[in-house]
Amino acid sequence: MKIGVISAILEEPSKCNSEFNEVVASFRGNIRGRMGIPLEDGISIISIVVTGDLNEINSLTGKLGNIEKRDVIRKIIYKYIAKHKIIAKSVINIIWRIVYAS
């Protein structure tokens, strides 16, 4: 099982919000949480936490990516279980490498 975070920027939510919601609803078994932030500029930012196999997550991001007036960013967190400890590669590790490698 993979854990993913999908972020979407909807440039004109009034034109693409219903299609976006339909796609997300069709994957409701994989959705663990969702947060939406409307901005004054006619832009909405949505973050969705998903679980499932890589094909399911890729399918969701592919369908979201086909919607006009949106940008979709995906990050998969790989989970390993070793002697009752869960170790996750995280976005923080990647940012740390970028910031301190410079």
**What is the model's pLDDT at position 69?**
75
Residue with tokens 């996750």: 88
Angle at the Cα of 56 from the Cα atoms of 52 and 61, rounded to 5 degrees: 115
**Which two three-digit tokens encode residue 55?**
């094909």
Per-residue model confidence as pLDDT tens for the chain (102 residues): 888 888 888 888 888 888 999 999 999 999 999 999 998 888 888 889 998 888 998 899 889 888 887 766 665 555 543 433 444 444 444 444 555 554
**What is the model's pLDDT at position 28?**
94
**What is the model's pLDDT at position 74?**
61
**What is the model's pLDDT at position 29?**
95
Give the helix ranges, DSSP H, for the chain: 13-26, 54-65, 91-101
